[in-house]
């Protein structure tokens, strides 16, 4: 809670090294999740970076200080050269994490990835009830395929995380979801509430839980952490719209991480292209270090100097960086505004109104 004014001027942003790189290998995906985090405008297959360019990007990333690469999408297995791409990341000295829907990763492909040294797998699971899971994914048989793949990952002794996105349709099943992750042999489960950017905005009213549901879920997570301490790590992300303070989105804009899109644009976060007027540079044209240090998009919201009041005078300014720029833009039209999730924001009433609005319509599935 902000209590005291802190009139210190915001310091100029120190340039940190990025620690993580999200490699969006493709936007192609067999699933149609209503909360898809890919941008509204998808990169075409013909525009995707080739293997050699990804290998160069990984070498440049390692030289810049990046430790981990998250191989993501869309569905990364849609790339025929996935094993070569992963091996190139390993050769560059990076820790490799495959983030997959589970659909499209064959036994043969997984074996080849494991042989080539894949360090970690994250599988998204939509629900603990197969019918509901397939309905949310918009893909019949997805649940069974994910469970089968999880068993194969564990048999190969590759550490597994279950990624679970929660919303109104599954938030009452936190206990069952954690039990499912344990049964799968996951060492970690990530329970994250839907983030309302991009495609998820189209389904916000259909996905939004009630405040009571959120409070119950938060309580259940605490109890489950205690019960399963030492057996599984439970990471939970509280839903923005029901929080008092915003999250330090991506650890601060241009501070610790970067995303490379399938066609090579380098973004400070996955939703950055939803903010109009930003200029994104591409790995096709420039080395990653130059992009990290000098690209207009990365420098647009680095640090905290651009933040207005109440952030400038707030003791949490250097902890949450005023929240999420993409959310600030989506809800106020100004990417420099205090994230309206913050109860101190003059726009906080917008979040309160949206959080109270629910409608049981059919999902608008993501296709393409």
| Binding interface with ligand SF4 (CB under 6 A) | 2, 245-246, 310-311, 314, 316-317, 320, 322-323, 338-339, 342, 344
Residue 104 binds which one of ligand FES, ligand SF4, none, with CB within 5 to 8 A depending on kind? none
With CB under 5 to 8 Å by kind, the binding choice for 2 among ligand SF4, ligand FES, none is ligand SF4
77, 271, 283, 300: residue in contact with ligand FES (rule CB under 6 A): 271
Closer to ligand FES by Cβ: residue 95 or 306: 306
Q: Does 331 bind ligand FES (CB under 6 A)?
A: no
Residue 255 backbone phi and psi in degrees, to 5 = -110, -45
How far is Cα 194 from Cα 191, in angstroms, rounded to an integer? 10
Give the residue with the Cβ less far from ligand FES, 224 or 250.
250
Query: Which of ligand SF4, ligand FES, none lies near 272, with the C-beta cut-off 5 to 8 A by kind?
Result: ligand FES
Q: CA 264 to CA 44: how far, in whole Å?
A: 12
List C-alpha distances in Å: 282 to 85, 260, 262: 18, 8, 11
Q: Which position among 149, 324, 330, 331 is part of the footprint of ligand FES (CB under 6 A)?
A: 324
Should residue 272 be labelled a site residue for ligand FES when binding is judged by CB under 6 A?
Answer: yes
* # binding residues, ligand FES (CB under 6 A): 10
**Cα radius of gyration rounded to whole Å, the chain:** 20
- Report the distance separating Cα 291 and Cα 282, nearest Å: 8
How many angstroms from the chain centroid is the CA of residue 75?
14
Is residue 77 involved in binding ligand FES (CB under 6 A)? no
What would the two tokens of residue 361 be? 């319509």
The candidate with the shortest Cα–Cα distance to 272, out of 195, 198, 367, is 198
Which among ligand SF4, ligand FES, none contacts residue 269 (Cβ within 5 to 8 A by kind)?
Answer: ligand FES
CA gap 322, 312 in Å, rounded: 9
Token pair belonging to 159: 């550490």
Binding region for ligand FES (CB under 6 A): 197, 249-250, 253, 269, 271-272, 324-326
């Amino acid at each position: 809670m902000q209590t005291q004014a802190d009139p210190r001027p915001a310091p100029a942003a120190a340039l940190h090294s990025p620690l993580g790189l999200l490699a969006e290998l493709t936007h192609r995906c067999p699933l149609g999740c209503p909360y898809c985090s890919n941008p509204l405008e998808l990169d075409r297959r013909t525009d995707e970076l080739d293997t050699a360019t990804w290998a160069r990007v990984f070498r440049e990333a390692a030289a810049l200080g990046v430790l981990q690469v998250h191989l993501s999408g869309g569905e990364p297995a849609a790339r025929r050269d996935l094993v070569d791409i992963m091996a190139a990341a390993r050769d560059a000295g990076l820790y490799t994490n495959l983030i997959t829907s589970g659909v499209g990763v064959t036994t043969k492909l997984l074996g080849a990835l494991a042989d080539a040294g894949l360090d970690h797998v994250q599988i998204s699971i939509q629900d603990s009830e197969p019918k509901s899971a397939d309905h949310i994914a918009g893909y019949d048989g997805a649940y069974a395929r994910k469970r089968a793949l999880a068993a194969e990952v564990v048999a190969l002794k590759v550490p597994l995380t279950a990624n679970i996105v929660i919303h109104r349709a599954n938030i009452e099943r936190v206990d069952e979801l954690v039990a499912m992750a344990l049964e799968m042999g996951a060492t970690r489960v990530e329970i994250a509430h839907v983030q309302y950017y991009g495609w998820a905005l189209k389904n916000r009213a259909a996905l939004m839980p009630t405040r009571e549901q959120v409070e119950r879920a938060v309580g259940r997570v605490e109890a489950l952490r205690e019960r399963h301490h030492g057996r599984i790590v439970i990471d939970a992300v509280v839903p923005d719209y029901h929080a008092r303070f915003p999250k330090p989105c991506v650890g601060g804009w241009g501070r610790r991480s970067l995303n490379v899109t399938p066609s090579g644009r380098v973004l400070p976060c996955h939703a950055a292209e939803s903010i109009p007027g930003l200029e994104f540079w591409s790995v096709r044209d420039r080395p990653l270090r130059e992009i990290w240090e000098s690209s207009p998009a990365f420098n647009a919201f680095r640090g905290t100097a651009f933040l207005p009041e109440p952030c400038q005078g707030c003791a949490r300014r250097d902890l949450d960086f005023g929240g999420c720029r993409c959310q600030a833009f989506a809800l106020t039209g100004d990417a420099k505004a205090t994230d309206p999730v913050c109860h101190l924001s003059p726009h906080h009433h917008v979040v309160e109104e949206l959080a109270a609005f629910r409608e049981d319509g059919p999902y608008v599935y993501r296709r393409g």
